[in-house]
Amino acid sequence: MTGQTECRNHPERDVVARCPRCTQALCRECVTEHDNRMLCESCLRTVIQPTAPDSKRKNVAMAAVAAAGCLLVWLFFLATAQILTHAPAAFHRFAPW
C-alpha cells in the first residue's frame, strides 16, 4: 500500500483500499466487496457485466488466433516429420565414439 495516499475520486479523503484490477487507490466510499475482493465501481461493472458490446468480436478474434496457433503447430510437426525422414541413419544411432 505504498505510494498514493489520496482517493482517486476524492483527493481530500484517505486511501483505505487499492482495486486489485486497476490498482487505483480508493476511499471507503469508492470501493465495494465482490467475491472476497475490494473493487472500484468501473471494475465491478466489468466483472458483473462481462458481455461488453465488443466481446463477441474479441471472442471471434481469439478463436481465429487459436486456429492460427493450431496451424503453426501442425506445420512445425510436419517440418519435423520431413527432417526425420530425410536425416541420415547415423543421426538415429547414439555412438559417442
Binding site for other proteins (CB under 8 A): 18, 20-21, 23, 36-37, 46, 58-59, 62-63, 65-70, 72-74, 76-78, 80-82, 84-85, 88-97
Tell the smallest beta-carbon distance from residue 6 to other proteins (Å). Answer: 18
12 vs 89, beta carbon nearer other proteins: 89
Residue with cell 559417442: 96
Q: Nearest distance from residue 74's CB to other proteins, in Å?
A: 4
Q: Is 62 helix (H, G, I), strand (E, B) or coil?
A: helix
d(CA 61, CA 55): 10
Q: Which is nearer to other proteins, 12 or 94 (CB)?
A: 94
With respect to other proteins, which residue has the nearer C-beta, 7 or 39? 39
From the CB of residue 48, how many other CB atoms can be counted at a distance below 10 Å? Answer: 10
3-state secondary structure 24-46: CEECHHHEEEECCEEEEHHHHHH
- Compare residues 14 and 20 and give the one whose CB is closer to other proteins: 20
Q: Which residue has the cell 527432417?
A: 83
